[in-house]
Structure 1
Amino acid sequence: MPPAQKSVDSVKKLKPGYLILGGGIIGFAVAKDLRKNEKEIIVFDVDKARVETLRQDGFNAFLGDISDPTLVNSIDFKNLICVAVLSSDDNANIKAVSNFKPVVSESVRIIARASDGLKKEELVAAGANYVFVPPKIVSNTVVEYLDMMETKHSGNRLASWLEDHRGIKLGIILHDNPDPDAISSGFALMEIAKKYGVSTEILYDGKIGHHENKAFINLLSIPMTKITGVDCYDRYDKLAMIDCSIPGVNNSVPAGKHLGIIIDHHSHGDIEPNAEFVDVRTNVGSSATILTKYLQQMDVTVSKELAAALLYGIRTDTNDFRRNTTSADFAAASFLHPLSDHDLLAQVETPSMSVETLDVLGDAIRNREVVGTCLLSNVGVIRNRDALPQAADYLLTMEGISTTVIFGIMDDNIYVSARNDDIRVHLGDVMRQAFGENAGGHPTAAGAKISLGVFSSAKDKHTLQKLVEESVVKRFLMAMGMESDDDDE
């Protein structure tokens, strides 16, 4: 029998380090790359021409049906490291995985190829340790390249804008009650602008209430100026809006105000951000990720303070890389980590919890209403709205809860913070549907600011809080397609 015609029946206990089942384009490519490991590579394929090609290229290839359950009898598993099931036939791959899984040791990895997500699930159920989908890998590679091109294109445009505006005074506006992502991003734009001779000031309205945010600003010496009125904006030649993109939505910028720069990662539905330079990317987990890419592209020196600030901004907005995290966020963090002052970061991360935050958390627990897997809680009048997301995060850990909505009253407004770990729900869309254009966010984290309006005429505080609670709960549950227990009575 010619070499390429050698059948499974003639094989007597082969001793592969790597066993490749399926010698097509992918199997052949994997075999060639594995040569450098100097381990015995054995390839099986049902196609005679493929086997002949592999043998001509120096591989130990054999003719055989990879779905045949007797194939396992031809293998000595002593030296086996991995079984790679790489044919283009999903059903054959599933059978092959099912045949080999019971007979190989726990230390042997089985990897497999699938044509789509459903077949991937079947291969995992059959026992594969790792399953890849070639079309998905190709699309991810293309998207990563396009993202890189988008970053380069946007970076060049931002550099041109700054170059054209040398010598101006730029006001960098953060959203109200800014968080570490907004603050660090504003700090980064300030450093970038210096390279182009543009003077800047970081502006914010509201309060820096969260203890960690106060420590963050103080320890990293980030210069910030509080807005005292809309006239403040007239002191600047141009305005940049960071981590927000619509004037008047979670910021004190007058609606219709002309903007020079917008950089954000939040979606605002059908509202179109309008500025001379706009970079809104909802496919990353933080604005700090976008600014980090700019720093790299423009070759701006990154101080240990700035690196620490941006790293902390990425970590907080992605909930330590557990929420809305993409490969771009990981890449930015990888760049920033060795440059950061980790002693400063440790001090930022370990401040004590304020008494008010503890009170809000206690109120949220006591006042909770559970409808299905949703937990809603009215914490009443608050002085620090940063306590709301902390309570929402904490209560999301309760057993049986997949969505939390915590709300309170401050300065003639109702503030709502929501968290979600149900992949079927896009929380930002739900919040926008429930509370309008001053609401929104990501699939797993969102917020809203609602004017008290007619509620402010309530005769006493208890009545006001009751009216607010009924309205918020009803509107949110309607947007979720649910009803409260009160509605059922």
Structure 2
Amino acid sequence: MAQAPKNVESVKKPKPNYLILGGGIIGFAVAKDLRKNDKEITIIDLDKTRVETLRQEGFNALLYDISDPELVNVIDFKNLICIAALSSNDNANTKAISNFKPLIPENVRVVARASDGLKREEMIAAGANYVFIPPKIVSGTITEYLDMMETKHTGNRLASWLDDHRGMKLGIVLHDNPDPDAISSGFALMEITKKYDINAEILYDGKIGHHENKAFINLLDIQMVKITGPESFDKYDKLAMIDCSVPGVNNSVPAGKNIGIIIDHHPHGETEPNAEFSDIRTNVGSSATILTKYLQQMDITVSKELAAALLYGIRTDTNDFRRNTTSADFAAASFLHPLSDHDLLTQVETPSMSVETLDVLGEAIRNREVVSTCLLSNVGTIRNRDALPQAADYLLTMEGISTTVIFGIMEDSIYVSARNDDIRVHLGDVMRQAFGENAGGHPTAAGAKIPLGVFSSAKDKHTLQKLVEESVVKRFLTAMGLENEDDDE
């Protein structure tokens, strides 16, 4: 091991605020930035030429092997804030961390550089508080830039499409029984179209059942038109599908309709969406995030009501940033937060739970069937499908449960809502495998709408419920690769 020269050992020990182990490209760059803050910096490196260069740059640089156990005796820890092991040698960084960690004060942080995930774990085990991997940082920065370029390119295409269709009448179609993400996204697109002299209306089918969703629409005064049949679409020159992408799949758009715009964040399954302009980003947590980016790019003034709507849409679809959340969702929320009417948001978030939702939750608890870590429950006939995801979210908190599947019958369909926190399972893929194209979603949240079909011929309600339950449970467990065996409760 290289030892400190006698002239170094004989001088007074340095008392750095920052001790940088490794004076290469990264170490030198970090030292230059830290020097702007008037902090005392000491750099340790084994390369004699590099040390001389650092000294010429005005740094206190010492010639030493950073992995040498004796190095701890060369430094005075009194003023130390942080040790940064930044050499390109993983083993040397790990040894240095092991040597220093037991001796430095508890409040001194240790930062380290690693070449891969395995070495990162070794450095954390040795005592590092934070370990970064340069290739990941570089690739992340490049990917972020490419995403920004793609967003700009897509936004320009949307602007061009809207500009080419000035004066037309546009129907903005949301998925059936729309949630805040779909509603706020439709609201945003309607505001965007005003810049291009387009007359747009928001269309929906099904019910606005959830109490919070009703409050959301009423308080924000969002105007929406109820679809009454296929003829509802005839008065529009073009249709835009928001938070859905395939006609007839969780929406009332007839097959073969002329679709001008599709904006969605859900996987579309095997059927390829067909529209003049399409933007489907499965790498973001909400459609509201996508629409927020358009508003920013097109420099459209965002009212406090629209900001509140989009922020609420992002929060609900990401379960308050705990589900399928990306940096894009955080960035959009950060932009919207200071613009939002927070008093209004508080009013939206505080309506009481409906009696029906409580009833569905009670049925879900009573009828639960547990297989391995999956909980499945048939809640019978329902009037409000929004109660299903609430029950699925609630039951996911039960000990030992990683996947919940709650289902019920409404009118002529079976509705299924599922939640998952097992990172090994992509719930959307499982649901699609189990129930076909009318199902899908994200790794942690998915749903399905299954036509009753042959089940509707059942002679009585009890028989119908039994047939539906057997079919849904069997299909889901088969897709999960599980046998239908009840756990002891």
Partner of 2:78: 78
Distance 1:247 1:267, change over 3 A: same
Deviations 1:358-401 (A, max 9, x none): 01111111111111211111111111000000011111111111
Partner of 2:114: 114
Alpha-carbon distance in 1 for matches of 2:396, 2:195:
44
Partner of 2:288: 288
TM superposition shift of 1:466: 1.6
Preserved contact between residue 110 and residue 130 of structure 2 (Cα < 8 Å): yes
Distance 1:133 1:330, change over 3 A: same
List aligned pairs for 1:223-372, cutoff 5 A.
223-372=223-372
TM superposition shift of 1:271: 2.5
Alpha-carbon distance in 2 for matches of 1:449, 1:118:
43
Deviations 1:323-360 (A, max 9, x none): 11111111111111111100100000000000000011
Distance 1:42 1:360, change over 3 A: same
Instruction: Tell me whether 1:96 sits opposite 2:96 in the alignment.
Output: yes
Alpha-carbon distance in 1 for matches of 2:467, 2:63:
76
Partner amino acid, structure 2, of 1:60: N
List aligned pairs for 1:371-382, cutoff 5 A.
371-382=371-382
Alpha-carbon distance in 1 for matches of 2:403, 2:98:
38
Determine helix, strand or coil for the equivalent of 1:424: coil
TM-score, normalization by structure 2? 0.97
Alpha-carbon distance in 2 for matches of 1:127, 1:465:
57
Number of equivalenced pairs: 486
Distance 1:10 1:280, change over 3 A: farther
Distance 1:221 1:12, change over 3 A: same
Deviations 1:398-422 (A, max 9, x none): 1111111111111111111111111
Preserved contact between residue 371 and residue 486 of structure 2 (Cα < 8 Å): no
Deviations 1:433-485 (A, max 9, x none): 11111111111111111111121122222221122111111111111111121
Partner of 2:21: 21
Alpha-carbon distance in 1 for matches of 2:477, 2:45:
56
Partner of 1:134: 134
TM superposition shift of 1:200: 0.4
Determine helix, strand or coil for the equivalent of 1:455: helix
Distance 1:299 1:6, change over 3 A: farther
Partner amino acid, structure 2, of 1:215: A
Q: Percent identity?
A: 85
Distance 1:5 1:248, change over 3 A: farther
Deviates more, 1:266-275 or 1:240-249: 266-275
Alpha-carbon distance in 2 for matches of 1:186, 1:129:
44
Preserved contact between residue 369 and residue 377 of structure 2 (Cα < 8 Å): yes
Structure 1 alignment gaps of length 5 or more: none
Deviates more, 1:6-15 or 1:298-307: 6-15
Preserved contact between residue 370 and residue 486 of structure 2 (Cα < 8 Å): no
Partner of 2:407: 407
Partner of 2:391: 391
Alpha-carbon distance in 2 for matches of 1:393, 1:487:
21
Preserved contact between residue 370 and residue 487 of structure 2 (Cα < 8 Å): no
Deviates more, 1:170-179 or 1:74-83: 74-83
Preserved contact between residue 169 and residue 200 of structure 2 (Cα < 8 Å): yes
Partner amino acid, structure 2, of 1:446: A
Partner of 1:53: 53
Partner amino acid, structure 1, of 2:220: L
Deviates more, 1:479-488 or 1:233-242: 479-488
Partner of 2:156: 156
Distance 1:78 1:435, change over 3 A: same
Preserved contact between residue 11 and residue 74 of structure 1 (Cα < 8 Å): no
TM superposition shift of 1:274: 0.9
Preserved contact between residue 270 and residue 437 of structure 2 (Cα < 8 Å): no
Partner of 1:187: 187
Partner amino acid, structure 2, of 1:175: H
Alpha-carbon distance in 2 for matches of 1:459, 1:71:
85
Deviates more, 1:162-171 or 1:250-259: 250-259
TM superposition shift of 1:5: 6.0
Partner of 1:461: 461
Alpha-carbon distance in 2 for matches of 1:444, 1:9:
59
Instruction: Tell me whether 1:480 sits opposite 2:471 in the alignment.
Output: no
TM superposition shift of 1:230: 0.9
TM superposition shift of 1:7: 8.4
Alpha-carbon distance in 2 for matches of 1:474, 1:73:
68
List aligned pairs for 1:430-441, cutoff 5 A.
430-441=430-441
Alpha-carbon distance in 1 for matches of 2:359, 2:351:
17
Preserved contact between residue 115 and residue 135 of structure 1 (Cα < 8 Å): yes
Partner amino acid, structure 2, of 1:442: H
Distance 1:377 1:72, change over 3 A: same
Deviations 1:290-315 (A, max 9, x none): 10111111111111100000000011
Alpha-carbon distance in 1 for matches of 2:49, 2:462:
82
Partner amino acid, structure 1, of 2:148: M
Preserved contact between residue 267 and residue 441 of structure 1 (Cα < 8 Å): yes
Alpha-carbon distance in 2 for matches of 1:8, 1:485:
73
Deviates more, 1:343-352 or 1:255-264: 255-264
TM superposition shift of 1:8: 7.3
Preserved contact between residue 219 and residue 344 of structure 1 (Cα < 8 Å): yes
Distance 1:409 1:112, change over 3 A: same
Alpha-carbon distance in 1 for matches of 2:332, 2:404:
30
Partner of 1:105: 105
Partner amino acid, structure 2, of 1:358: L
TM superposition shift of 1:49: 2.3
Determine helix, strand or coil for the equivalent of 1:182: helix
Alpha-carbon distance in 2 for matches of 1:267, 1:241:
14
Alpha-carbon distance in 1 for matches of 2:424, 2:125:
23
Partner of 1:124: 124
Partner amino acid, structure 1, of 2:421: D
Preserved contact between residue 7 and residue 63 of structure 1 (Cα < 8 Å): no
Partner of 1:451: 451
TM superposition shift of 1:270: 3.1
Alpha-carbon distance in 2 for matches of 1:299, 1:221:
23
Deviates more, 1:58-67 or 1:172-181: 58-67
Instruction: Tell me whether 1:216 sits opposite 2:211 in the alignment.
Output: no
